[in-house]
A and B are shown apart, each in its own frame.
Chain A
């Protein structure tokens, strides 16, 4: 058995986690987390690390030329640049509502890219 220390990145609280891992790499226990999401994060980080991804896509007819977007849930850490590539040529037209799906099933991950905010049509 060994102890692994890491900082939880789920929220800005930055809890310091101590994880007991057995010799086969399986997580035995997680301590130091303030909420259950810390437990989930620690187990994922040691087996299949994932990240939320945020970026922007081109929008026309809105107050600004960029629409901020976010993944509908976390994606495998290694897929971040692939998803960025998939967003490079996406263009939308205002109006857009917060949580509108901008790209469905991005990179076949079973995850959508959604709008972070609403953007009205402006002239």
Chain B
């Protein structure tokens, strides 16, 4: 069985960044396993711009951002295999993959970085009533067809869900000559970035129906129409508020789920809130020597932050391989009132250089509130926030010295301030 110092599962932004930083930190025996026919992951279909503002101080398209990292991987002669799908992973860090070139291969890794990304929630996940005609797509699949394969998925389109992919597809399909009749969002606020509401919907006068959902999809062979209705506070459609649209295509942009079949198979502890592995300050999972980063860990809004997390996981994997990663006393992070989750879920202060970064999302929209960070039960910091929304990931950077003094936990909560 062939042995590699470091195996990275997934050649998208997280995996490529992890490979580059592990190499720069002294690991040369690296293998990236990518299931698609080229490196770059989902970036290759995200042809819009806005990537790289943090990482490269420049605004790039998705493929342009990917190429920067692919060039680095090639310059460093890091090995990768394409069309290589990892089918099993066990807790001895033994991986099984298949590829057309090699067939079935079993390898052993000294360390592993999980960078498998996420997949889209589908129509089935939310049980939309109606017929089952052709013309119903997840937004990301439609994006790949349009931007990479060169096929239009339809001419008259309705989109359910105001996630970023849905918004970006609304603009993209409009520019390509389709008529996008509207976007419905079940929540009373959008789940996409504000800039995408502006430049993808408002620029093209595409209506956004907040607190609405699809109640029926019509059509036997092909979608022939869609009915939406307003929902009440408990998300139930309100009778008499129905609107119908004459469309041939429905896109779903209703959220992303970290793709963790392999992590679960290896019995890695999962966080039910992020649906990704629980990790420590070094992005190490419950399985020693196995790290996780990017959308497989928790779904991000910005690829820049995915790559940054990948870099950090790569550094940590290199430390582990060079036996510099330590085990110390562990504290946990607790998402309290208003906070959906916190990554990392546990921290060993001994491995923190100068700072510790906590990433989290709030559960709902807030205006003029305070984020209160507590060390054990003592208030460590209070941050005033004019605006918080679940669609925007928040970060707090704490001093490692503060964390070192902590006995059992760090917590974050949202506190409403009296006006």
Contact = CB atoms under 8 A, between A and B. Distances in A.
A92 to B, nearest CB: 13
Interface stretch (B8-16, B60-68, B90-98, B400-408): B60-68
Interface in B30-69: 37-38, 44, 47-50, 53, 59-64, 66-67
A9 B199 contact: yes
A51 B386 CA distance: 28
A118 B67 contact: yes
Interface string B188-225: 00000111011100010000000000000000000000
B378 interface: no
Given A8-B195, A12-B302, A118-B67, A56 B147 contact: yes
A16 B197 CA distance: 13
Given A6-B198, A68-B63, 13 more contacts: A11-B195, A12-B302, A51-B199, A52-B59, A55-B47, A56-B47, A56-B147, A63-B38, A66-B148, A70-B61, A77-B203, A81-B175, A117-B61
B67 A117 contact: yes
Interface string A1-45: 000001111111110100000000000000000000000000000
B328 interface: no
B272 to A, nearest CB: 27
Contact of B150 (A8, A9, A64): A64
A54 B203 contact: no
Contacts of A68: 47, 61-63, 147
B195 A9 contact: yes
A77 B199 CA distance: 10
Given A70-B61, A117-B63, A58 B37 contact: no
B376 interface: no
Contacts of B102: none
Contacts of B146: 56
A12 B195 contact: yes
Contacts of A65: 149-150
Contacts of A11: 50, 53, 59, 195
Given A16-B387, A54-B61, A7 B194 contact: yes
18 contacts: A8-B195, A9-B195, A11-B53, A12-B53, A12-B193, A12-B301, A13-B53, A14-B194, A16-B386, A16-B387, A52-B49, A53-B175, A56-B150, A68-B62, A70-B49, A80-B175, A84-B175, A84-B176
A98 B71 CA distance: 11
A56 B193 CA distance: 24
B175 A55 contact: yes
B120 interface: no
Contact of A64 (B149, B195, B203): B149
A5 to B, nearest CB: 11
- Give the 5 A-B CB pairs with smallest separation, nearest first: A117-B63, A68-B47, A9-B195, A11-B53, A116-B61
B271 interface: no
Contacts of A13: 53
A53 B48 CA distance: 8
B179 interface: no
Nearest to A66: B150
Given A54-B48, A55-B175, A116-B47, A14 B150 contact: no
B344 to A, nearest CB: 23
Interface string A43-86: 00000000111111010000111101010000001001100100
A117 B148 CA distance: 12
A79 to B, nearest CB: 12
Nearest to A7: B194
Nearest to B148: A64
Contacts of B175: 53, 55, 80-81, 84
Nearest to A45: B198
A68 B37 CA distance: 17
B198 A7 contact: yes
B392 interface: yes
A53 B387 CA distance: 30
A7 B392 CA distance: 14
Contact of A14 (B37, B149, B193): B193
B90 to A, nearest CB: 33
A58 B150 contact: yes
A77 B67 CA distance: 28
Contacts of A118: 67
Nearest to B305: A12
Given A16-B387, A84-B175, A66 B50 contact: no
A80 B59 CA distance: 19
Interface in B324-342: none
